[in-house]
Amino acid sequence: MVVIDTKFNLLQNLVGKKFTEKELVEILFDMGFELEEKVGDDIKIELTPERSDCISTYGLARAIRAYLGIKTGLPKYAVERMISTCKVDSSLKQVLVPVNPEEKAPWQYVVCAVVKGLEFDDDRIKEVIRVQEKLHQTYLRKRRKGGIGIYPLDKIKMPITFTAMAKDKIKFRPLEANKVMTGSEILMKHSAGREYSYLLEGNKNYPVFIDANTNILSMPPIINSHDTGKVDETTKDIFIECTGVELEPLLVTLNILTTMFADMGGKVHGFDMLYSGKKIKTPDFTTRKRTINLEEIDQLLGIKFSAKDAKKLLEKMMHSANLKGSKLEVESPSFRVDMWHAVDIIDDIGRAYGYNNMKPRFPNVNTIGNIFPETKIKDDMADVLAGLGLVEIFTEALTNEDDQYSKMNTRSVPYIKIPHAVEPSLNMVRTWLTPCLFRSLNFNRSNRYPQEIFEIADVVIPDKKADVKSKNVTKLSMLIADLTANFTRAKQVLQALSESMEVQLEVKAKDYDWFVSGRSGAITLNGKEVGYIGEFHPQVILNWGLEVPVVGFEIDLSFL
């Protein structure tokens, strides 16, 4: 989910219609968004991630205007003319940026645009900064996928070049600094450089924009030059660039920004991006075209629409549609990045119609219901144990070595590790249940005794042969904590369970690290060991902060 901060009055003005807070809640709900909060004029709106076109208030107002029927159909955007070129040097292929902790990719793509004839006030500038930062944080994955630079045009001499330069040869005065710095110095001493140093660390060269006067305009994705300046209330014309590791997201980002500036009244001019081997024109306002059959709509939504009605609904979602026989030719705006398949178009028809206007019908699929045999047996076992007065509990699967082994007086066995655990005490998956039940006894040490509990649940053990290199094993663990608890009490429960399941579970003497020597045994089924039972060692009881004897057993239920 993406949450945007904007202003209620701005949104109202841009939509071109007055609405109350309650009405806005309803409109956004039906569109699939949510008004999270309104405090005075400040509002927070939750968007779904595929509607990055609504990240700017202008984009959101555009969508609402169409949805309300105020201005429907395909919004038209055009590039006035190609204003200049940007040469893209292949040296950028050597600049590697970590797109995630495991992978690096070359920062080799760039798209540009110019917008002229703008008027900026304080609110507009704040909106632009907010949109830029939100795109950086969400769509561009904290600048790992791409970076955006917006500059006043007047100090830039076209044409420009995007290239890689040795980090100590890069010398310019970055924004918010009072002197010239090298690329390395920026990463070490400048606040933006330090915050985003992880993006460029380890490279000998960093990306730079250079204009026709060989001035450095910026070092993406870190910081712009102080000499080109910041957009302020006197700015009329701007230059926008997006650089990054993949071309498609940059085209989308540029699209969101240029359409926003066009909606502000600006005129968009384009660039020829000169890559080695190909030339790309940006920005790209090419619409997306797809043809669907009317019956496909019924097949997906369950409602028959006439071509006329379907067309009107599509126009409320900013598409245009023309009937050709029994097919609809649909044209979608370039900023709708979520149109991958015919189902996306039909989904829009559904949203425009209004989900709460549809008549639900129970699916006509006849099947015979059942529960998997293993599940039924586990449920029946739980019933028997509950009938014996034990309480069923459910504990956590994530744990640590100290709980699983040290506190149980034993050594660790192979287990599944979690290397990047955010909670350091939850860095492995349990291999047995008994310690988890002890943890529960510890939480309950101030409650009444006797405490008689059990759990039937999965543990995970490594398995080299499995495709996921591990396997789930279902186990049953039972503990009785009581002043008079002894081996016989545990054996009685085991016997009752065994008899109710028609299996012969037997016990043969065996010592374990966590039990009192001579007061424990292995549980066997047809001679094979399937578990253990006994009186717990006083050290284990002390380790868990308890003051009463504890007895119990744990069985591997794989034999079911």
Partner 1 sequence: MARKVKSVQETGGKTGSTGHGGVWNPELAKELVLRTHSTATTFRYFGTKKLEIPCKYFYLAKVFRNEAIDATHGAEFHQAEGFIVGDGLTLVDLMGFVKEFYKKLGITKIRFKPVFNPYTEPSLQAYYYDEDAKKWYALINSGIFRPEALEPYGIKKSVIAWGMGLDRMAVILNKKQRMKDIAGGHLSFDWLKSRPTIKSEL
| Interface positions, 217-276, toward partner 1 (CB under 8 A) | 246, 248
Q: Which is nearer to partner 1, 2 or 114 (CB)?
A: 2
CB of 363 to partner 1, least distance (A): 4
Site for partner 1 in 288-307 (CB under 8 A): 298-303
Any idea what DSSP says for residue 29? H
Q: Which of 40, 277, 325, 360 binds partner 1 (CB under 8 A)?
A: 360
Q: Which is nearer to partner 1, 56 or 451 (CB)?
A: 451
Site for partner 1 in 147-166 (CB under 8 A): none
Q: Does 341 bind partner 1 (CB under 8 A)?
A: yes
508-529: b or e for each residue (b if 16 or more CB lie within 10 Å)? eeeebebbbeebbbbbbbeeee
Structure tokens, 15: 């939509």
Structure tokens, 551: 């007895």
Q: What is the Rg, in whole angstroms, of the alpha carbon atoms belonging to the chain?
A: 33
Q: Which of 20, 233, 443, 529 binds partner 1 (CB under 8 A)?
A: 443
Site for partner 1 in 71-100 (CB under 8 A): 100
Q: Which of 320, 440, 520, 543 binds partner 1 (CB under 8 A)?
A: 440
Phi, psi dihedrals of residue 310, rounded to the nearest 5°: -60, -40
Q: Which is nearer to partner 1, 54 or 219 (CB)?
A: 54
Select from 13-21, 189-197, 318-326, 433-441 the region that touches partner 1 (CB under 8 A).
Answer: 433-441
Structure tokens, 108: 């080799």
Q: Which of 362, 411, 465, 502 binds partner 1 (CB under 8 A)?
A: 362
C-alpha span between 191 and 445 (Å, rounded): 51
Phi, psi dihedrals of residue 403, rounded to the nearest 5°: -65, -45
Select from 3-11, 153-161, 178-186, 447-455 the region that touches partner 1 (CB under 8 A).
Answer: 447-455
Select from 126-134, 185-193, 223-231, 418-426 the region that touches partner 1 (CB under 8 A).
Answer: 418-426
Site for partner 1 in 449-488 (CB under 8 A): 451, 453, 458, 468-470
Select from 71-79, 107-115, 269-277, 392-400 the region that touches partner 1 (CB under 8 A).
Answer: 392-400
Q: Which of 43, 268, 346, 479 binds partner 1 (CB under 8 A)?
A: 346
Residues in the chain: 560
Residues 34-53 as x/- pattern, contact with partner 1 by CB under 8 A:
--------------xxxx--
C-alpha distances (whole Å) from 134 to each of 137, 282, 414 are 5, 22, 44
> At CA 248, angle to CA 247 and CA 252, rounded to 5?
120
Select from 235-243, 355-363, 539-547, 548-556 the region that touches partner 1 (CB under 8 A).
Answer: 355-363
C-alpha distances (whole Å) from 201 to each of 242, 253, 266 are 20, 25, 38
CB of 402 to partner 1, least distance (A): 15
Find, among 453, 512, 500, 515, the residue nearest to 478 by Cα.
453
Q: DSSP string of 501-553?
A: TT--EEEEE---TTEEEEEEEEEEETTEEEEEEEEEPHHHHHHTT--S-EEEE
| 34-39 and 528-536 beta bridge pairing | unpaired
Q: Does 5 bind partner 1 (CB under 8 A)?
A: no
Q: Which is nearer to partner 1, 144 or 269 (CB)?
A: 144
CB of 418 to partner 1, least distance (A): 7
